[in-house]
A and B are shown apart, each in its own frame.
Chain A
Amino acid sequence: MKKNLNIIGAVILICLAADFAFAQNQYQAEFDQANDLYRQARYSQAAEAYESIIKGGFVSGQLYYNLGNCYFKQQELGSAVLNYERAKIFMPRDSDLKANYEYAFNQLNLSSQQSSSRLGRWLDSLSAELGIDSMAIILSVLVLAIILLCLWSMFSGRASKLFKPAVFILVILLIITGVTLQRKISYLNKGAVVVAKEAGARFEPSESATQYFVLSEGVKVEVLDISGSWLKVRRSDKKIGWVNKEAVERILP
């Protein structure tokens, strides 16, 4: 009986792995076709092909990166910045991505938006080098390390001099990682990029409302609220206004 269960489990695992490999191969084939279109400078068709892979439910940093390149070539720099932002979630340390991202920003005459506080800037630079999954894994490892260290101290009966400093350092690291992860999650959940050439931020969610300020293409904003087809957004200088939904796109769709 036990032997049979083992066999069934193994078969299920093999089926799942095969299914995943099949899906991966299928998407890689579609990805190759999109790359071919890009090579032929058919950028809009290539973009559509990349988008269809994303709609299929599977994504990767390379996919968003190539899609960003397609938009860049079509001078849709806001959409290019948006897709580079999405690619950064998966491959934050990729040098090609960093170069293209900065170049797109330069083309838009934008400077990178930094936090006003020194601590905020430091946490942002930390999170820029780590993906969201990496941070979650580091957090879990730190939690387990603290738990194991505490259990060892409780049951070994030996009061090591290094125990308290080690736990203190691990707790500090845990707090830093936790705060950074929380900021990153908040940024991804609330973050959006202006994809229109120009978007007027108004005092009220209405076309007839007074325009407060103008958001230029590629600018990153924080979405605070939604009302119909209007989004309440906050710019990095803390100015808040309502913009049309079509003018901005969220980083996490």
Chain B
Amino acid sequence: MKGILLSRLVSLRAPKGRSNLFFKIASVASLPRNDTNLDASAKGIKFKRGLAIFLWVISFVTSASAKEVNFEATVDRNKVSLGSSLQLNFTFNNTQEMPVLQLPQLEGFESRYLGPFTKISNINGQASSSITHIYTLIPVKNGIFNIGPFKLEYKGDTYSSGPVTIEVAEAKAPQAGGVETNAPLAAQDINERIFLVIQPEKKQAYLNEPVPISLKLYVRGLTLRDLRDLKFEHEGFALGEFQDRGEYQETAAGVNYAVREFATVIFGLRPGEFKLGPANLKCSLLAQKQSRRRGSSAADDFFDTNIFDDFFGRYDIYPLELKSREVPITISALPEAQKPENFSGAIGNFNLEVSVGPQEVKVGDPVTLKISVTGKGNFSTVNAPKLAAEENFKIYDPLVKQQQNQKYFEQIIMPNSETISEVPAVSFNFFNPSSGQYQVLSRGPFPLKVLPPDKEALSRIIEAGQSKTVLLREERIGRDIVYIKPQMGSPRERGVYFYKTKFFLWLHIIGLCVLLAGYVLSKKSKRLKQDIRYARKLAAPKKARNGMRRAAIYLRQNKTKEFYDCVFATLQEYLGDKFHLPSQGITAGVIEDILKDKVISEEALNKIREIFRSCDLARYTVSESRKEDLLETLKKLEETIDYLQRSKL
């Protein structure tokens, strides 16, 4: 961005508040901008950059002044209505110094000098400078007027411009067509100020002949930005990539335009009459919100380059879709007369260079042919040139490299016999569209010395079971397909492959499920080993179930003491495991202390108390217990354990 801005550096001497544009652009080009407390290094950098820009400007001024000065007279529009004014510019290119030309009395106009306008620019590395003297012309009557040519003598040299034609008419309504816009430019004939043109280099071409074409966008007195979506109808043609040729000035019918050019190459795909285009291009038009500054020249309106001139707030953006006219183009088939027999379709104007190396080889050694086809044309139609006599060589497929204006073939050939004394001539034919004739280029033959092969090159066959070596002369090997197979092999059902079978699918699904299950189990097993609290809690219900089963057996066997011992131990162990406590010390009191902070029903707590009490009574006194009491105790134990399991304490 910085480079673009600097290359478009413009200095204005005269009118209307533009004298500080240089500083505006320099500031946008990211020069350091500190306010008052610039430190020394920042100042130094700023000074160096300022100096560099100053030297750059000086070098452009001197280089531009070395060129020949030419003089152009242009107007900002050729058609004008009575009551409005137009602008006449006298531009002296390649100089910055030229006095004001005193205008003679012009028929049909009154004139007034506005001031000078100087410009230094660098477009695509080309430096240029100019000075333009700007006049206002006010028409005083209707008609078509030729003004000029104008002459100026300065320092012994005479400068002449061409004439300019101006049509003065009554005010007219704007014309439609070509441009679709919402911009408030109805008073201007917008089609004369902005238009898109297709310019093929030629309108008659041969099949596959490359035809360069330019798409030019002409703009006068308007500011465009955001050029996009360049489309181009090209039925019957192959189209290359578009290249942006950049911006420049062009005078058409005495009017100066800013031109943006896009270039590409097309190839006719079939003979016939075709139409190129229309080309379409979308862009945005910048229009001033208030009254537009008069006196701006076409040179000011370089697309979006002036948008830094207090852009925000002063412009509106309007979408535009530009459409060019169609251009007829005729594609002719290649002539059949005098067409070479082995013509491979190459079209263009080419040159052929061939080199051969090495020039002394043994039979069967490789020789490299380096073939270069250069010139202008359609290189996709260029195939490897043929050797005049191929039977004495084994020829391999060439290695092909293609550049912009060159196609390069590197071909390996191998001499079959020592009787060969030369590499035959290489010939290449093509159709030259400029002359309309077929041309044949031939290079060679090239001398080649072929020596007999080394003895080591002869085949060695070691017979099985014998140590002696038999040398055989190299033989010519015939070639054909290998014979059919006698056995059908293992026939299989058509279309059945292992990867399509259900077995393949399920094998992987089950495998992945096993892996997943294994992962979950291993995690659980690891936790059981590492987390004792978790392990005890998990084992508690199972142990309790076993204890209750044993107690039920004691109950059936009427073993009262063993029954209560078992119930006591089961409850103690369950509570110990459940709350991660030493089981031996658990009593009703201990459990009450633990459970007082937890949400537990009083009924369950009472049951625990009663079980412990019943057990203590039965175990430590001689009282006789009834079977119903035992059953009741066992039931309470079951209910208590069931409650504690469900309550997730």
Contacts and interface: CB of A to CB of B under 8 A. Distances in A.
Chain B binds chain A = yes
A150 B518 contact: yes
Given A65-B485, A133-B499, A144-B507, 17 more contacts: A31-B488, A38-B484, A53-B488, A58-B494, A59-B491, A59-B494, A60-B488, A61-B489, A100-B481, A132-B499, A136-B497, A137-B498, A140-B508, A147-B511, A154-B521, A181-B499, A185-B499
B245 to A, nearest CB: 29
A24 B488 CA distance: 9
Interface string A171-204: 0000000000100010000000000000000000
B270 interface: yes
A60 B484 contact: no
Given A144-B511, A147-B514, A90 B489 contact: yes
Contact of A210 (B269, B488, B497, B522): B269
Interface in B487-520: 487-495, 497-499, 504, 507-508, 511-512, 514-515, 518-519
B482 interface: yes
Nearest to B501: A136
Contact of A136 (B269, B483, B498): B498
Interface string A57-69: 1111111011001
A4 B494 CA distance: 35
Interface string B473-488: 0000001111111111
Contacts of B494: 54, 57-59
A155 B484 contact: no
A28 B486 CA distance: 9
B628 interface: no
9 contacts: A27-B488, A31-B487, A96-B485, A132-B499, A133-B497, A143-B507, A144-B507, A147-B512, A147-B515
- Closest A-B pairs by Cβ, 6 of them: A154-B522, A62-B485, A96-B482, A136-B499, A58-B491, A66-B484
A103 B481 contact: yes
Counting chain A residues whose Cβ lies within 8 A of the other chain, the interface size class is 35 or more
Contacts of B512: 147
B229 interface: no
B contacts with A: majority SS: loop
A99 interface: yes
Q: Which of B481, B499, B519, B522 has the most CB of A within 10 A?
A: B481
A154 B488 contact: no
Contacts of A243: none
B273 to A, nearest CB: 15
Nearest to B522: A154
Given A136-B504, A140-B507, A155 B498 contact: no
B229 to A, nearest CB: 23
Nearest to A29: B488
Nearest to B513: A147
Nearest to A24: B491
A242 interface: no
A159 interface: no
A124 B236 CA distance: 38
Given A63-B491, A185-B499, A150 B484 contact: no
Given A132-B497, A150-B515, A65 B488 contact: no
B498 A133 contact: yes
Interface string A31-45: 100010010000000
A111 interface: yes
Q: Which of B494, B512, B514 has the most CB of A within 10 A?
A: B494
B275 to A, nearest CB: 16
A221 interface: no
Interface of A: 23-24, 27-28, 31, 35, 38, 53-54, 57-63, 65-66, 69, 72-73, 90-91, 96, 99-100, 103-104, 111, 132-133, 135-137, 139-140, 143-144, 147, 150-151, 154-155, 181, 185, 210, 252
Q: Which of A24, A91, A133 has the most CB of B within 10 A?
A: A133
B514 A151 contact: yes
B68 interface: no
B481 A28 contact: no
A103 B518 CA distance: 54
B487 A62 contact: yes
Contacts of A57: 493-494
B456 interface: no
B397 interface: yes
Given A132-B497, A147-B514, A35 B489 contact: no
Counting chain B residues whose Cβ lies within 8 A of the other chain, the interface size class is 35 or more
A57 B495 CA distance: 9
A99 B482 contact: yes
Interface string B453-488: 000000000000000000000000001111111111
B488 A28 contact: yes
B498 A72 contact: no
B504 A60 contact: no
Contacts of B479: 103
A164 to B, nearest CB: 16
Contact of A91 (B397, B489, B504, B521): B489
Given A143-B508, A151-B518, A60 B492 contact: yes
Contact of A100 (B482, B514, B519): B482
Nearest to B503: A140
Contacts of A73: 481
Nearest to A182: B499
Contacts of A150: 515, 518-519
Interface string B25-58: 0000000000000000000000000000000000
Q: Which of B491, B492, B499, B512 has the most CB of A within 10 A?
A: B491
B487 A151 contact: no
Contacts of B507: 140, 143-144
A135 B512 CA distance: 19
Contacts of B480: 103
Interface in B250-283: 269-270
Contacts of B504: 136, 140
Given A63-B488, A91-B489, A132-B497, A155 B522 contact: yes
B106 to A, nearest CB: 58
A133 B497 CA distance: 6
A154 B519 contact: yes
Nearest to B481: A100
A68 B468 CA distance: 42
A151 B515 contact: yes
A151 B493 CA distance: 37
Contacts of A135: 499
B529 to A, nearest CB: 9
Contact of B484 (A35, A61, A137, A210): A35
Contacts of A35: 484, 486
A27 B397 CA distance: 43
Q: Which of A60, A99, A103, A104 has the most CB of B within 10 A?
A: A60
Contact of A69 (B397, B484, B492, B518): B484
B270 A58 contact: no
B409 to A, nearest CB: 15
A23 B493 CA distance: 11
B203 to A, nearest CB: 21
A171 to B, nearest CB: 13
A167 B502 CA distance: 27
Interface in B510-568: 511-512, 514-515, 518-519, 521-522, 525
Contacts of B490: 60
Nearest to B508: A143
A135 to B, nearest CB: 8
B185 to A, nearest CB: 41
